Chains A and B, each alone.
Chain A
Amino acid sequence: MTDIRFSGYGGQGVIRMGLIIGKALSLYDNKYATMTQSFGPEARGSACSSQLVVSEDRVLYPYIITPEILVSMSQEAYDKYEPELKDNSIMITDNDLVKLKPLKRKIKIYSVPATRFAEELGNRIIANLVMIGFFASITKIASQDSIKKALPGLVPDRFLNLNIKAFDKGFEYGLKFLKKESNKKP
């Protein structure tokens, strides 16, 4: 079982990230994936999050307690949710938007300038798809094909290709990131 939290500020498509990965896993990767999300005023402007519990068997407890993977796309969300992480968990951030604090635990950190890449592609609104691409190559939790299959219906039809481009950009960056990291190892 893997508990994942996607976080950022309301409007970045943070809930959408949970929906896309959740749909990819449960409809195309044969996994059980239960998504819950923050509701109320915090979902519109300040730190908000979607939570995904991924399992080979039916998910019983629907919420996450300690995420194994935290994706943060804003400083406020990072500050709010980073303390939940335990040793050996994974932290994925937009490094233009999140300034990391000194680490107290053994956390693996992966960063991507998702918003900047999205702006270079023409629209910052697709930063979440850059992040999903990066997330997919780093964690390998959902397959590339499944995620792409999950997009129709969850992103506007006329922007489908742009979203796929954003996904690919993040995915390739993730692969490079991993390669660099494995070269570093002795």
Chain B
Amino acid sequence: MKKVKADPKGVLTGSHYMDGDFALAEGGLAAGCRFFGGYPITPSTETAERFSERIPMVGGVFIQMEDELASIISMIGAVWGGKKAMTVTSGPGFSLMMENIGLAAITETPLVIANVQRGGPSTGLPTLPGQQDMMQARWGSHGDYNIIALSPDSPQECFDLTIKAFNLSEIYRVPVFIMTDECIGHMHEKVVIPPAEEIEVVERKWYTGPKDKYLPFKLDKDGIPFMVKAGDGYRFHITGLTHDERGYPLLNSKAQDIKVRHIVDKINDNADKIIILEEEDIDGADIVVISYGITSRVAFRAVQTARKAGIKVGTIRLITVWPFPEKLINKLAKKVKAFVFPEINYGQMVREVERSSAGQTKVFPVHHCGGGVHNPDDIFKVIKEAAK
């Protein structure tokens, strides 16, 4: 893995009062994103607008595609053409991208997709928040594959985590999602963008060997294959069909076994390195509140109330939501009275907590079906109930 300093051209160093959508775009530009292919959709449109204005200034390309199917394919093309690429969307557009998220996964194409979640299903609630695409992010395309997903809790983290997302996508050659929501997307807060020399960017793992020896899917020592730029004189083949090291279709169960295990395990085997979370007062806690994104801020308010009421509450904020920290949850399940898990959906990531706990403790979801954030009192009531 080669780390370099960010290209100062893309870095808008300084303190800004900015919404989450703009911060996503600035994070992308700082990380070296020089291709944006997208289709505007509320509540993510501001990110596309920001890219359309800013990316030409840094020598990049913005294309408004005809729809989201084309958006993601344009990105896959741009990446194999040598660029770092990103797009942004929301529920309905995310659904349209699903088929070719699978193409990105099987071709091990590094790219970043931000989903500014709104209430669903279908057209749902275009201007209001939701966290209802969390399982779709992990399982939305057909077949077995793996992805990484991060969840920011503020405009500042929209910036920080977009850089992180690009770096992870290059390290593991995998699609990385930024699962934010309308509330953060449209919320203005202070965003500090550091000087370019303080931003670490992971460079693509370029192949430098002889031209006739390049194999796009031959695993290197770290388990990740090298990439080349189309047009640089390397002959290679990229397909959605199951393929061999050369990228040529090889349609049998042995090739399938190698491919599927590789694209799933490269994330699972490195989960400990990928997972970022914040823990607070876990030791000796009776109740642990697990949350992510905007809900974690609201949940902390409920936790403060619960602590004042004498309940021993710890918190875990998931910054990486996929892969899920199943080992940690399993270990904690042996010690705590219960987990409480608020999220803006009718029960999604909480299934992971239940699975990881394996019946060793109680799990209390706090549902909110979308269109707003939880009332902290509703979370507090469940904490109280769980502590009984």
Contact = CB atoms under 8 A, between A and B. Distances in A.
Interface of A: 18-19, 22-23, 26-27, 32-37, 39-40, 59-63, 150
Given A23-B17, A61-B301, A62-B294, 16 more contacts: A23-B188, A26-B17, A27-B16, A34-B188, A35-B17, A36-B183, A36-B186, A37-B186, A39-B42, A39-B182, A40-B126, A40-B127, A60-B298, A61-B373, A62-B187, A63-B373
B187 A39 contact: no
B9 interface: no
Given A22-B17, A60-B300, A62-B294, A27 B188 contact: no
Contacts, number: 57
B190 A27 contact: yes
B373 A62 contact: yes
Nearest to B17: A23
A18 B19 CA distance: 13
B246 interface: no
A33 B189 CA distance: 6
Contacts of B187: 34-36, 62
B17 A61 contact: no
A62 B297 contact: yes
Nearest to B14: A27
Q: Dominant SS at the B interface? A: mixed
B301 A60 contact: yes
A13 to B, nearest CB: 15
Interface of B: 15-17, 42-43, 126-127, 182-183, 186-190, 294, 297-298, 300-301, 372-373, 376
Interface centre among A33, A36, A61 (most CB of B within 10 A): A61
A174 to B, nearest CB: 24
A39 B189 CA distance: 17
B190 A61 contact: no
Nearest to A23: B17
Nearest to A38: B127
Contact of B188 (A35, A60, A63): A35
A26 B19 CA distance: 13
Nearest to A18: B188
Contacts of B17: 19, 22-23, 26-27, 35, 150
A120 to B, nearest CB: 30
For the complex of A and B, 4 pairs with smallest distance between CB atoms: A23-B17, A39-B127, A35-B188, A26-B190
B297 A60 contact: yes
A2 to B, nearest CB: 16
B14 to A, nearest CB: 9
A141 to B, nearest CB: 16
Contacts of B43: 39
Looking at B186, B294, B372, the one whose CB has the most chain A CB atoms below 10 A away is B186
Contacts of A27: 15-17, 190
8 contacts: A19-B17, A26-B189, A32-B190, A33-B190, A39-B186, A61-B298, A61-B376, A63-B372
B191 to A, nearest CB: 9
A35 B187 CA distance: 6
B317 to A, nearest CB: 12
Contacts of B372: 63
